[in-house]
Structure 1
Amino acid sequence: MLTAGAAQAQTQTVQEPLPDSLNIRWMSENWTPPEVLRVRIVERDGVRSVIRFNEAARLSEVYPTDPSPLWNVPILLKDNIETADMPTTAGSLALADNAPGRDAPLVTRLREAGAIILGKTNLSEWANIRSSNSISGWSAVGGQTRNPYDPERTPCGSSSGSAAAVAIGLAPAAIGTETDGSITCPASVNGVVGFKPTVGLVSRTHIVPISHSQDTAGPITTTVEDAARIMTVIAGSDPLDPATAEADAHLYPDGSQLQFETLLDADSLRGARVGVLRFLLPSYSEETREVFERSLQVMRDAGAVIVDVSEPPADWRNLGTWELQVLMTELKVDLNAYLASTDPAQVRTRTLADVIAFNDAEPRETELFGQELFVRAEATTGLEDPVYVHARSASLRAAGPEGIDRMMADHAVVALVAPTTSRGWTSDRNDDDDMQGSASRLAAIAGYPHLTVPMGFDRGMPVGLSVMAGKWEDAKVLSLGYAFEQLTQARRAPELR
């Protein structure tokens, strides 16, 4: 047992300079009291990544006989994931007092595995769904999160604070959420690992929603191995989330639990046929394309067979239109259901229409951008609308069976790769340095796994390599990304400013 004297000595020890890249094994082997971590957050969080420190966070002082997989590992959560001991705001003042006193099932799993829920991270307000002009990393509750490599450039979003916090070493892991790019983009531009699992592998219960078709939570870490360890803990079926009905069948194929970290193979690229999404490449910066080509050569040298996929899916040009229709319709339905589950004494906005009215009356909410997407979502007419039914069916088919699945089958490849995005663009809307390239849409719409791993730098800003595959092929995606990571070791932590 850790005595008071030992705790004091340990506090003095961990106040020494800490490595910027902290992994889960290091944290679980070192006693790091939450109060020390809070000091580090205050001193080092110049990028405004953390909204709230968990005052209830406590170190477990008794080493368990059978050590829990995340024993005493501090983990940050995006502030759209509910915990019993902190409010959950989605960055909006409308939810500032939203504290229904319940843990999301994925949080319960983290606690049962021994993790310390350290606090909540900032995000693009409402997970970037309020306006097409929203600013990544900005919320009325948390202000503007900055990119730690260059504060004038975007941290991307919407899991901005989760990625930035991990990048600067405030915690070894954070949980983000993604509907389309909200884990992978911020992880890429902040130089860390981000994993969007198959939709249905991780429960979405008690997470502020956008879309039941595309939403999922996933880990953001500094290594693929740590992302795999987190996945082992948070994956699993939840009776309150119908999308997870098949999860346990994939996690317990022979009766014992699948351990994602034990399936990582540093030699998994050898002999693997890997498809390159060539049709995406013209949209990326020249520098990112050069880094990507060098990454492909690394794979070849490791024994991979690189296969060009030059043609996009047949309905590629329609995907964006269909996806937006799906998101708008499901946002109204799903958010109304979530708001109805909150405490009326804490959350007076009981519907999306109420939130729109709140924003209209609250100048702090709309001083930087509006809410035209909220207004558009409010005008939708529900899940029986034939326009929505067609959009969901067509987009799912085009991205999944006729998209990722067909490209993999036609080219006999085990996975697809592309740059995640180019360097983080500036936050100045008046210049021409904008977002360049994105690999997230197909996997997001299909609900398939998507991993981003640091692959190098574009004008001094980090860029990531995306690895995607079919539904429930999460372990394979993680293993291929792990093999690439072990060969390149491309991550370089930012210099603290």
Structure 2
Amino acid sequence: MVSSIEKGLPANESPSNALISLAPTAWSRADEQMRVAHIGTGSMFGVPILLKDNIETRDMPTTAGSLALVDNAPGRDAPLVARLREAGAVILGKTNLSEWANIRSSNSISGWSAVGGQTRNPYDPERTPCGSSAGSAVAVAIGLAPAAIGTETNGSIVCPASVNGVVGFKPTVGLVSRTHIVPISHSQDTAGPITTTVEDAAIVLTVIAGSDPLDPATVEADVRKVDYRAALDANSLHGTRIGVMRFLLANYSAETRAVFETNLQALRDAGAELVDITEGPDMRAISTAAFQVLMTELKVDLNAYLASTDPEQVPTRTLADVIAFNAAEPRETVLFGQELFLQAEATKGLDDPDYIEARATSLRMAGPEGIDRMMAQNRVVALIAPTTSRAWTNDPNDDDRSQGSSSSLAAVAGYPHLTVPMGFDRGMPVGISFIGGKWDDARILSLGFAYEQKTHARRPPTVP
């Protein structure tokens, strides 16, 4: 196919609406460098890559999809972007996203932003691309670039990757720097790769992982990181005990459950020993505590980010300013409101005892008493479930709604989560999730790689 980048179209003329902006002169650099390199060689020299538009680059604005940040161009690269450039990657542009990474309203529309409009799922434009890294997943699915960077707080890499038929990897929180990325929560935020293969995700992760003195969560990253591509083993499933999170399955569509059962047999055929886990942690309690954490950290972290921007470019200096801006700007609230922003603004800061208790509770219940306990009690090294069911329709009044999700445990615990295409639900792609313990990134990628080599389930969309 000929991409909108190759045609020289403005980003908003792409039929998928996957892009927000293109880097100046990026395509001429990529065209020259791609003559001598490709992502499959193990080097990122000349490899074109796209970034979710909440990640700062020195040569493009960073909007988070909001008109309040449309002129936000402080002229600096996020550390993960600097790592990509040092590895020779060509930053092509920025991808559309769910505005403010889906945290403005519980009624927000996945893949929609006031700056970028509505990103379309390439398998069916009437169905959601999921969010918030919608543009990154769609861009990779339709071949605008071999890799993109998304960000996740809870599901924002793995859900769009799953419903757009690509690979998405959410690393252990603290493996990849979050500096100069528009934040939601320092407890849960991370960036990660979206690609068409697990091998490519491993290559990108090897480049972007590492410690950053400005992000205290990454203090162990240099010690923990490895060459993730070199660690891939096509035989890694053989003799490996894996836990099947049966306690989640009732929430998925019947079609996705059937596809998942077929893929369980593929895992057995590859030598895996599967263990059914019928009881899990209290997901409602985890979600309640984690929500309080997100609301409190959103106010604190976003205020700190806005204070670091240029006041001439970003007049909204606080979350309260953004709320006032949205209230006065009809284009922002034409489809949904900002009740989550209002809840966040009412929180009392990181010294609030209720916040401190909620953070300790959510981390404990999702991590040591959740993923860690399930793996230890069942003597398994990873957990699996469908990532989500088929993409739901964009019509809020349609009964075909979101069905099932495996993202919350790994998101709240800060543990690695990989989604790999496993098949189709009513013609829409669905993925299988591999989840592990903290710093188990290499093993989770390797297990997903072995599964991928066994099944080769991805089928790209038909794009005009």
**TM-score, scaled relative to structure 1:** 0.90
Q: Please name the residue that 1:183 is paired with.
A: 157
Q: Please name the residue that 1:99 is paired with.
A: 73
Q: Please name the residue that 2:252 is paired with.
A: 284
Q: Please name the residue that 1:294 is paired with.
A: 262
Equivalent in 456, 459, 464 of residue 492 of structure 1: 459
CA distance in structure 1 between the aligned counterparts of 2:124 and 2:356, rounded to whole angstroms: 43
Equivalent in 196, 200, 217 of residue 170 of structure 2: 196
Equivalent in 357, 360, 363 of residue 330 of structure 2: 363
Q: Please name the residue that 1:309 is paired with.
A: 277
Contact 1:68 1:114 in 2 (8 A): no
Contact 2:127 2:392 in 1 (8 A): yes
Q: Please name the residue that 1:55 is paired with.
A: 24
What SS is found at the alignment partner of 2:331?
helix
Question: How many residue pairs are counted as aligned between the two chains?
Answer: 457
Equivalent in 413, 416, 422 of residue 380 of structure 2: 413
What SS is found at the alignment partner of 1:262?
coil
1:41: Cα distance to partner?
Answer: 8.0
Contact 2:255 2:426 in 1 (8 A): yes
Q: Please name the residue that 1:27 is paired with.
A: none
1:47: Cα distance to partner?
Answer: 1.1
Q: Please name the residue that 2:365 is paired with.
A: 398
1:43: Cα distance to partner?
Answer: 11
CA distance change for structure 1 residues 40 and 307 in 2, over 3 Å: closer, same or farther?
farther
What SS is found at the alignment partner of 1:359?
helix
1:260 and 2:234 matched = no
Contact 1:194 1:452 in 2 (8 A): yes
Q: Match for 1:37: what amino acid?
A: E
1:316: Cα distance to partner?
Answer: 2.7
1:337: Cα distance to partner?
Answer: 0.1
1:464: Cα distance to partner?
Answer: 0.2
CA distance in structure 2 between the aligned counterparts of 1:229 and 1:266, rounded to whole angstroms: 16
1:135: Cα distance to partner?
Answer: 0.2
The 5 Å alignment of 1:31-50 reads 37=6, 39=8, 45-50=14-19
1:478 and 2:448 matched = no
Q: Please name the residue that 2:428 is paired with.
A: 461
Q: Please name the residue that 1:241 is paired with.
A: 215
1:325 and 2:292 matched = yes
CA distance change for structure 1 residues 132 and 294 in 2, over 3 Å: closer, same or farther?
same
1:44: Cα distance to partner?
Answer: 8.8
**TM-score, scaled relative to structure 2:** 0.96
Q: Please name the residue that 1:223 is paired with.
A: 197
1:36: Cα distance to partner?
Answer: 6.2
CA distance change for structure 1 residues 495 and 167 in 2, over 3 Å: closer, same or farther?
same
1:46: Cα distance to partner?
Answer: 1.1
What SS is found at the alignment partner of 1:261?
coil
What SS is found at the alignment partner of 1:218?
strand
CA distance in structure 2 between the aligned counterparts of 1:285 and 1:53, rounded to whole angstroms: 38
1:42: Cα distance to partner?
Answer: 6.5
CA distance change for structure 1 residues 488 and 222 in 2, over 3 Å: closer, same or farther?
same
1:38: Cα distance to partner?
Answer: 5.1
CA distance in structure 1 between the aligned counterparts of 2:355 and 2:6, rounded to whole angstroms: 46
Contact 1:78 1:176 in 2 (8 A): yes
Q: Match for 2:43: what amino acid?
A: P
Q: Deviations over 1:367-408 (max 9, x none)?
A: 000000000000000001011001100000000000000000
What SS is found at the alignment partner of 2:29?
coil
Q: Match for 1:47: what amino acid?
A: S
Q: Please name the residue that 1:148 is paired with.
A: 122
CA distance in structure 1 between the aligned counterparts of 2:14 and 2:330, rounded to whole angstroms: 27
RMSD (Å) for aligned C-alpha atoms: 1.7
1:55: Cα distance to partner?
Answer: 1.3
CA distance in structure 2 between the aligned counterparts of 1:377 and 1:457, rounded to whole angstroms: 38
Q: Match for 2:364: what amino acid?
A: R
1:138 and 2:106 matched = no
Q: Please name the residue that 1:427 is paired with.
A: 394
CA distance in structure 2 between the aligned counterparts of 1:433 and 1:188, rounded to whole angstroms: 17
CA distance change for structure 1 residues 36 and 122 in 2, over 3 Å: closer, same or farther?
closer
What SS is found at the alignment partner of 1:365?
coil
CA distance in structure 2 between the aligned counterparts of 1:407 and 1:110, rounded to whole angstroms: 36
| 336-345 or 68-77, which deviates more | 68-77
| 68-77 or 41-50, which deviates more | 41-50
CA distance change for structure 1 residues 182 and 233 in 2, over 3 Å: closer, same or farther?
same
Equivalent in 147, 154, 163 of residue 173 of structure 1: 147
Equivalent in 48, 70, 73 of residue 44 of structure 2: 70
Q: Match for 1:85: what amino acid?
A: D
Could you tell me which runs of 5 or more consecutive residues in structure 2 were left unpaired when the two chains were aligned: none
CA distance in structure 2 between the aligned counterparts of 1:294 and 1:212, rounded to whole angstroms: 38
CA distance in structure 1 between the aligned counterparts of 2:7 and 2:232, rounded to whole angstroms: 33
Q: Match for 2:61: what amino acid?
A: P
Q: Deviations over 1:393-451 (max 9, x none)?
A: 00000000000000000000010000000000001011111000000000000000000
1:59: Cα distance to partner?
Answer: 1.7
Contact 1:356 1:371 in 2 (8 A): yes
1:79 and 2:42 matched = no
CA distance in structure 2 between the aligned counterparts of 1:249 and 1:464, rounded to whole angstroms: 31
Q: Please name the residue that 2:414 is paired with.
A: 447
CA distance in structure 2 between the aligned counterparts of 1:43 and 1:144, rounded to whole angstroms: 10
1:68: Cα distance to partner?
Answer: 8.3
What SS is found at the alignment partner of 2:51?
strand
CA distance in structure 1 between the aligned counterparts of 2:96 and 2:12, rounded to whole angstroms: 17
CA distance in structure 2 between the aligned counterparts of 1:40 and 1:172, rounded to whole angstroms: 19
CA distance in structure 1 between the aligned counterparts of 2:10 and 2:437, rounded to whole angstroms: 38
Contact 1:47 1:164 in 2 (8 A): yes
Contact 1:38 1:53 in 2 (8 A): no
Contact 1:158 1:182 in 2 (8 A): yes
CA distance change for structure 1 residues 442 and 36 in 2, over 3 Å: closer, same or farther?
closer
1:117 and 2:114 matched = no
1:45: Cα distance to partner?
Answer: 3.0
What SS is found at the alignment partner of 2:127?
coil
CA distance change for structure 1 residues 84 and 42 in 2, over 3 Å: closer, same or farther?
closer
Contact 1:449 1:477 in 2 (8 A): yes
Contact 2:12 2:19 in 1 (8 A): no
CA distance in structure 2 between the aligned counterparts of 1:42 and 1:234, rounded to whole angstroms: 25
Q: Please name the residue that 1:3 is paired with.
A: none
CA distance in structure 2 between the aligned counterparts of 1:246 and 1:141, rounded to whole angstroms: 36
